[in-house]
Amino acid sequence: MGYEISFGARVRKSVFFDKTVENGVAAFSVYNHMLMPTSYGDPVAEYWRLVSGVSMWDVAVERQIQLQGPDAEHLARLLTPRNLGEIVPGQGRYVPMCDHDGRLINDPVLLPVEKDRYWISIADSDMIYWARAIAAERGLAVTVSEPDVSPLAVQGPKAIEVVAGLFGAWVRDLGYFAFREIEHEGIPLVVARSGWSKQRGYELYLMDGSKAGQLWDIVKDAGEAYEIKPGCPNYIERIESGLISYGADTDDDTNPFEMGLGKFVDCEQEVDFVGKEALTKIRDEGAKRRFTGFFIDAELPVMAQEKWMLSHGGDTAGFISATCYSPGLERFIGIGLVSNKIADGEGALVAATPYGEVPATPASLPFPVPWQRFRH
């Protein structure tokens, strides 16, 4: 490359930044206006560590939006089409969010910290403005802010040993997306069973950025016996597992039904959530595209982080948003959004790539890798 990318003060650093540099971070992306580690040099080695060992990730870019006040719960219910049913503090949920036209605008995790205090752990879009605007539109008594909270993920089948070893046996009984607030050696934390992989994992939400170095070292030392190494949200594992990356896999007019998130849309509930009318209409008409896997029979780079347009007999058919060589399946795979009519019809789909036109065959998600996947 003959150029560099420059970052000014607009692009924030994680509280773990110095530790990631000290540990040999090799690449960053920008996510929620912050630097996010994307490689420590060998993504395939990191993949194997994630599916068979344990890896620690600086995911402070998963920013928290805090809703606090008597109407915090009401605002949380308005922001997502998911029926939150009974809300229990300490039990998180995956809560896709839509605008008034039913477009997907984020797919965060919601953490009810207390009865009147919620965190929305966001993907890459500016949800703080959205939450404030909806609170104002509905005249709610709630304060929307960004707290000093930075998640550190511990992912992989051995993560449970590291995290239970550190904080106690109760960690082993944490249900999917459940969490508990603790203090460990003077460090205030929320310990949650979650993370952006389908390997068993935990996320430690650090509630005091000044203690980031201390937390990093504690996790690294506790993981040493399990050969823990720093890693990052793994491009290959997430494609095999079909985990959605908002903004990469979506375009500016994607609805939750297309993304396979229809099960999180309840238009029959009483709550007048944002986008209810539009989503009811989209549901009744049926989605026209679907998020799917692809087998790609061509020689490609190990990871190609680009959007490729798909066509079928000369017609536009959708796009592929991410591809990789799958170590689990020993072939090239991808994920993307494709027109239902075309995917269900006859004939080959063709992806236009910098390596020429390549054939792409739809495949269901998640990809059937030959090892166990955990619902965390």
Residues of this chain that interact with ligand THG (CB under 6 A) are: 62, 94, 107-109, 121-123, 151, 194-196, 203, 243-244
Residue 376 Cβ vs ligand THG, minimum distance, rounded to whole Å: 7
Contact of 228 with 162, CB cutoff 8 Å: yes
Nearer to ligand THG, 48 or 94 (CB): 94
Contact of 264 with 94, CB cutoff 8 Å: yes
DSSP strand pairing (229-231 vs 55-58): parallel
Backbone angles phi, psi at 157, to 5 degrees: -60, -25
The SS3 of residue 101 is coil
> In the numeric block, which tokens belong to residue 337?
């959004």
Nearer to ligand THG, 196 or 332 (CB): 196
Nearer to ligand THG, 119 or 325 (CB): 119
Nearer to ligand THG, 301 or 366 (CB): 366
Residue 232 Cβ vs ligand THG, minimum distance, rounded to whole Å: 12
The residues near 206 (Cβ < 8 Å, ≥ 6 apart) are 15, 60, 149, 150, 151, 152, 187, 188, 189, 212, 215
Task: Report d(CA 358, CA 303) in Å as an integer.
Answer: 15
> In the numeric block, which tokens belong to residue 122?
């966001």
List the one residue out of 88, 210, 72, 173 whose CA is nearest residue 132.
72
List the one residue out of 174, 154, 169, 141 whose CA is nearest residue 75.
141
Residue 175 Cβ vs ligand THG, minimum distance, rounded to whole Å: 11
Nearer to ligand THG, 174 or 351 (CB): 174
Residue 375 Cβ vs ligand THG, minimum distance, rounded to whole Å: 6
List the one residue out of 374, 108, 42 whose CA is nearest residue 261.
108
Task: Report d(CA 231, CA 109) in Å as an integer.
Answer: 21
Nearer to ligand THG, 196 or 294 (CB): 196
Whole-angstrom CA distances from 141 to 101, 113, 147, 238 are 25, 18, 18, 38
Provide the H-helix boundaries in the chain: 17-22, 43-52, 72-79, 127-137, 159-167, 212-223, 235-241, 276-285, 340-343
Nearer to ligand THG, 111 or 140 (CB): 111
Residue 194 Cβ vs ligand THG, minimum distance, rounded to whole Å: 5
Residue 80 Cβ vs ligand THG, minimum distance, rounded to whole Å: 12
Residue 109 Cβ vs ligand THG, minimum distance, rounded to whole Å: 4
Residue 57 Cβ vs ligand THG, minimum distance, rounded to whole Å: 10
What DSSP state is assigned to residue 91?
B
Nearer to ligand THG, 194 or 255 (CB): 194
List the one residue out of 143, 137, 150 whose CA is nearest residue 189.
150
Residue 299 Cβ vs ligand THG, minimum distance, rounded to whole Å: 30
Nearer to ligand THG, 109 or 296 (CB): 109
Residue 225 Cβ vs ligand THG, minimum distance, rounded to whole Å: 26
Nearer to ligand THG, 82 or 158 (CB): 82
**DSSP-derived secondary structure for 228-289:** -EEE-S-HHHHHHHT---TTTS--TT--TTTTT-GGG--TTSSS--TTHHHHHHHHHH--SE
